[in-house]
Amino acid sequence: MPLFCDVALAVPLDMVFTYAIPPGMEPVVGGRVLVPFRQQRMSGIVVESHDRPPQVKTKKVIEALDLSPVLDEHLLNLGKWIADYYLAPVGEVFRTMLPLSAEFKRAIACRITDEGRLALHLAGMSGSPARSKRTPEQQLIEFRVLDYLAARESVREESVRGVTRVAKALLNGMVRKKWIAREDVSAARDAARLVKVAVLLDAETAEASPPLDGRGARPSTGIAKKLNGNQRTLIETLAASGGRLPVEALRALDVPRTTLSTLVRRGLIELVDEPQDFTVSVSKLKPRQSPFEFEFSAAQNEALGKIGEGVLSRKFGGLLLHGITGSGKTAVYLACMRQVLEQGRSSILLVPEIGLTPAVAADLHQVFGDEVAILHSGLSDAERAEQWHRIRRGEARVVAGTRSAVFAPVSDLALIIVDEEQDSSYKQEETPRYHARDVAVMRAKMAGAVVVLGSATPSLESYYNAKKNKYALLELPDRVERRPLPEVEIVDMRQEFQETGQEQVISRKLAEEIRERLEKKEQVMVLLNRRGYSPVVLCRACGKTLQCKNCAVSMTHHKRERKMECHYCGHVERIPDKCAHCGSEYVYFVGTGSEKLEELLHGMFPQARIGRLDRDTVRGREDFEHALNALNEGALDMLVGTQMIAKGHDIHGVTLVGVIGADMALGLPDFRAAERTFQLLTQVAGRAGRGQSPGKVVLQTYFQEHYAVQFAARHDFAGFYDKELQFRAWMHYPPYSAIANVLIRSEKLDEALTWSGELGRWFEKTRHEGIRVLGPAAAPITRLKRDYRYHFILKSPSREKMNALLRAMLAEVAARKIPRTQVIVDVDAVWLM
């Protein structure tokens, strides 16, 4: 029996912590333990148990939470690799890998004690519980509580109160008398894999606790009369499911959360903890036609064959599936995953944050039924945990989800597919700053699985790897059924200005094309990748703009919501009627966001039904699905929006795509600006002409000669990549160098300056062969969320050397007592802003 264990805790320290194991306790490696840390109790992952006494006095493990590991050996190793590669504390990595935080919420249950039983027994003999200062009425309630608890193991406190109508003070009194015990079942509940279940109490139980005025029993018909619509829905659902359902399943009903608590309070429903296995999920998706009704093209079949071969070999293999928009990549993914499932093995499909469209989810359900677990960002913590358990128990061997689904605890992993592998939502922008695509490749390597990176616009890194034969390249060069790619027409907005003498948002050409489509009853999408009404408020008297008080960025005007909002920190202010600097009343709202674009289009095409899709109209997943369904069903003529409209959607009625401000990103000081612009333009262009009628794209730009715009207009992927790769080689940027962004931040300007100066001098002194260190320089966004920001950019042909230097730098940071949280190390940074 080992005496000690090393525990990884989710704290910003690059170390593990040693605890003593009390006799009789058996924490498992890869399992969670509850330990004291500073003034708190924390849960952490056991990474090793051993008999090596540490130098310092150790504290004891409070509780072992798991009987078997929650992270198997593979995932433990993957986590350690991530910690090492991204220089992140391993405890924080493990926390990211496990969606189990919900299981640590405090849950209080009541249990009757032996003394309580005795009191109940005596009361039963004498008619009232023991000697007491309580009124007869209170004694009656106490009796009722004891009687209720005597027949049960342990019941949630809210249920005790609901069923027996006991007042909190009276219950506290019973605890003081030691008749009942309160216990924190949070951890215990987790260890035993319990879920909260709602149980419909029958009329008899309800009758056993008449209301206090004692006017007799409450017949169930009487209760039914007193229920409102929501309450009835809930009760009927429960009744239809045999009287019990997990609380999480009830959440899928369209009733407010308070309804359940009201019913619990009224004693009609009780909450108990039951073993997880009992769980069922409620799916609201309607089935569609099978996605396999068509015949695969030769290219699709070849891709399927190659991937299938790789899977059968049970060896690691990486493939880049480069298929133009509308070439049928999704169908290939589904077919591969089905093959894997037929072999009794597991697969994971990663999709970008907004790529999990209702259509894809419906296809997955259609093909895989209950075998699929879908992990999207709209899940609550508890739902996420439930899916995690389903996957681990082997009930769901097909997993589809966003970034963190790469950690799904599947067994016998055969295949990971990363759709739209270039998407920046795969990079986590907080610690650990991992890239899910790269983690997927590493996980596949460790598991001897196949990884498929799919895209119409692969990242330069992946394309380069394919060129160097690190990945096999699979191409789907044609659209399905030989549908043509849309014709792209570029409108030069400088010329438009000269000819019309006015700054136009919508060019004459685009307006004409839109009118034509609307007349033909075809659909239109218009992209403007900036939300809000106007992005800038400018004073004509002094020339100053309204900036966020926390960030060095302009506040955006939101007209309908009558506010100014900072898109970086969320700070909100009222709309100014005069300049904050000089008091002048000449404040102007300049520029156009998607809200204003929608208004302009309404003005131009009053008959058209126009929808908008951006983060202001899409609060949750439902809004997103709603807008897309409306377009799909022909309830909208036009959809306006930000990049949310650009990706993945397969809507056949859209024949025209307009792009406004196609080139906004080209002005940003970021070496990936051209790549992002090319990808966005290609993606959005790919929405046009996916049905029977061919599509057209009108691309408005101020940089018409820029190669990203030109190559996108010609659908020339190879041309763009060759040119861009040249630049990257000259400038020593990825894929020719590894890069890292080191950001120093503080709310105090002089701290940020001093620290970055100190580290700057340290970098100068330290010899680091072949590594370029740029900076310190003010970050492009010099102030963000109150922090002043300075940064260094490191470029190195050798990743090992770069990471060694970064590690040495972190040691210097610690030695200088610069707080670790104020120094962000971002390896393979995606944003340098």
Query: What radius of gyration do the chain's Cα atoms show?
Result: 31
- Distance of closest approach, residue 413 Cβ to ligand ADP, in angstroms: 23
Decide whether 381 or 650 has the Cβ nearer to ligand ADP: 650
767-777 residues labelled b (16+ CB within 10 A) or e (exposed): ebeebebebbe
Identity of the residue, 325 or 643, whose beta carbon is nearer to ligand ADP in the bound complex: 325
User: Which helix H or strand E contains 469, and what residues bound it?
Assistant: none
297 contact choice in Zn ion, ligand ADP, none (CB below 5 to 8 Å, kind-dependent): ligand ADP
Residue whose structure tokens are 């079942």: 185
Binding site for ligand ADP (CB under 6 A): 291, 294-297, 300, 323, 325-331, 480-481, 650
Q: How far is the CB of 729 from ligand ADP (least distance, A)?
A: 30
Alpha carbon distance 172, 180 (integer Å)? 9
> DSSP code of 66?
-
Structure tokens, 308: 């299938």
Smallest gap, in angstroms, from Cβ of residue 363 to ligand ADP?
8
Q: Binding to Zn ion (CB under 5 A): which residues in 533-572?
A: 539, 541-542, 548, 550-551, 566, 568-569, 571
Q: Please choose which of Zn ion, ligand ADP, none residue 370 contacts, taking the beta carbon within 5 to 8 angstroms, the exact cut-off set by kind.
A: none
Q: State the minimum distance, in angstroms, from the CB of residue 788 to Zn ion.
A: 13
Q: Minimum CB separation from ligand ADP for residue 711, in Å?
A: 19
In the complex, the smallest distance separating the C-beta of residue 684 from ligand ADP, rounded to whole angstroms, is: 12
Residue 541 binding: pick among Zn ion, ligand ADP, none (C-beta 5-8 Å cut-off by kind)? Zn ion
What tokens does 11 get? 């704290």
Minimum distance of ligand ADP from residue 514's CB (angstroms): 24
What is the pairing mode between strands 450-455 and 413-419?
parallel
DSSP per-residue codes, 458-507: --HHHHHHHHTTSSEEEEE-S-GGGPPPPEEEEEEHHHHHHHHSS--SS-
Least distance (Å) between residue 361 CB and ligand ADP? 13
d(CA 455, CA 321): 6
Contacting Zn ion within 663-722 (CB under 5 A):
none
Q: Residue 571 binds which one of Zn ion, ligand ADP, none, with CB within 5 to 8 A depending on kind?
A: Zn ion
φ, ψ for residue 604 (rounded to 5)? -80, -35
The least CB distance from residue 287 to ligand ADP, in Å, is 15
Cβ 304 to ligand ADP shortest distance, Å: 11
User: Which partner, Zn ion, ligand ADP, none, binds residue 569 by CB below 5 to 8 Å per kind?
Assistant: Zn ion
* Closer residue to ligand ADP in complex, CB, 480/753: 480
Region binding Zn ion by CB under 5 A among candidate stretches 356-364, 421-429, 584-592, 750-758 = 584-592
- Distance between CA atoms of residues 673 and 679, nearest Å: 10
Residue pair 6/18 in contact by the 8 Å Cβ criterion: yes
Could you say which DSSP state residue 417 is in? E
Which partner, ligand ADP, Zn ion, none, binds residue 568 by CB below 5 to 8 Å per kind?
A: Zn ion
Report, in Å, the least distance between residue 483 CB and ligand ADP. 9
**Residue 710: CB minimum distance to ligand ADP, A:** 23
Select 44 or 326, whichever has its Cβ closest to ligand ADP. Answer: 326
The interface partner of residue 551, options being Zn ion, ligand ADP, none and the CB cut-off 5 to 8 Å by kind, is Zn ion
CB under 5 to 8 A by kind: which of ligand ADP, Zn ion, none does 605 bind?
Answer: none
Cβ–Cβ < 8 Å for 480, 599: no
Other beta carbons within 10 Å of 718: 10
Nearest residue (CB) to ligand ADP, 481 versus 633: 481
Residue 762, judged by CB atoms within 10 A of its CB (0-12, 13-18, 19+), counts as middle
Beta bridge partners of 791: 743, 777
Considering the complex, state which of residue 335 and residue 460 has its C-beta at the smaller distance from ligand ADP: 335
Q: What is d(CA 78, CA 85) in angstroms, rounded to the nearest whole number? A: 10
Q: Which two tokens stand for residue 530?
A: 């900036």
Contact partner, 328, from Zn ion, ligand ADP, none, Cβ < 5-8 Å per class: ligand ADP
566 contact, one of Zn ion, ligand ADP, none, CB 5-8 Å limit per kind:
Zn ion
For position 265 contacting Zn ion by CB under 5 A, the verdict is no
> Which does residue 539 bind out of ligand ADP, Zn ion, none, counting CB within 5 to 8 angstroms by kind?
Zn ion
Q: Which pair of tokens denotes residue 495?
A: 């010329």
CB nearer ligand ADP, residue 259 or residue 402: 402
If contact means CB under 5 to 8 A according to the sort of partner, which of Zn ion, ligand ADP, none does residue 658 touch?
none
- Min separation Cβ 217 and ligand ADP, Å: 59
- For residue 640, the 8-state DSSP code is E
- 43: helix, coil or strand? strand
The H helix count followed by the E strand count for the chain is 27, 33
- Considering CB distances under 5 to 8 angstroms, the limit depending on partner class, which of Zn ion, ligand ADP, none binds residue 585? none
SS3 777: strand
Tell me how far, at minimum, the Cβ of 586 lies from Zn ion, in Å.
8
Distance of CA 662 to the CA centre of its chain: 27
For ligand ADP, which is the closer residue by CB, 49 or 632?
632
Shortest CB 538 distance to Zn ion, Å: 9
642 interacts with, out of ligand ADP, Zn ion, none, CB within 5 to 8 A per kind? none
Taking the alpha carbons at both ends of the chain, their separation in whole angstroms is 51
Residue selected from 288, 494, 581, 761 as contacting Zn ion according to rule CB under 5 A: 581
331 binds, among ligand ADP, Zn ion, none (CB under 5 to 8 A by kind): ligand ADP
Between CA 556 and CA 315 the distance in angstroms is: 52
Question: Which entry of ligand ADP, Zn ion, none binds 550, CB below 5 to 8 A by partner kind?
Answer: Zn ion
CA 275 → CA 106, 245, 347, distances in Å? 18, 12, 27
Q: To 10 degrees, what angle do helices 229-240 and 257-265 make?
A: 80
Which of Zn ion, ligand ADP, none does residue 335 bind to, with CB < 5 to 8 Å depending on kind? none
Q: Check: CB of residue 306 under 8 Å from CB of residue 319.
A: yes
Residues of span 500-539 touching Zn ion by CB under 5 A: 539
Measured between alpha carbons, how far is 407 from 391 in angstroms, rounded to an integer?
11
Nearer to ligand ADP, 327 or 339 (CB): 327
- Is 315 or 581 the residue whose CB approaches Zn ion more closely? 581
Cβ proximity to ligand ADP, 292 vs 316, nearer residue: 292
Nearer to ligand ADP, 554 or 679 (CB): 679
CB < 8 Å & 24+ apart, contacts of 314-317 = 314/414, 314/448, 315/448, 316/444, 316/445, 316/447, 316/448, 316/449, 316/450, 316/451, 317/444, 317/450, 317/451, 317/472
Q: Which is nearer to Zn ion, 5 or 548 (CB)?
A: 548
What DSSP element (H or E) covers 470?
A: none
Q: What is the DSSP string of 676-704?
A: HHHHHHHHHHTTTT-SSS--EEEEEES-T
> What span, in angstroms and rounded, lies between the C-alpha atoms of 374 and 197?
22
Would you give the DSSP letter of residue 781? Answer: E
Q: Which SS3 state, helix, strand or coil, does residue 192 take?
A: coil
Binder among 582, 590, 604, 718 for Zn ion (CB under 5 A): 582
Position among 228, 380, 584, 726 found at the interface with Zn ion (CB under 5 A): 584
- Choose between 129 and 323: whose C-beta lies nearer to ligand ADP: 323
**Measured from the CB atom, is 329 or 706 closer to ligand ADP?**
329
Closer by beta carbon to ligand ADP, 300 or else 428: 300
d(CA 599, CA 603): 6
How many residues touch Zn ion (CB under 5 A)?
14
Half-sphere exposure of 646 (CA within 13 A, CB side): 27
Which CB, 130 or 580, lies closer to Zn ion? 580
Q: Binding residues for Zn ion, per CB under 5 A?
A: 539, 541-542, 548, 550-551, 566, 568-569, 571, 579, 581-582, 584
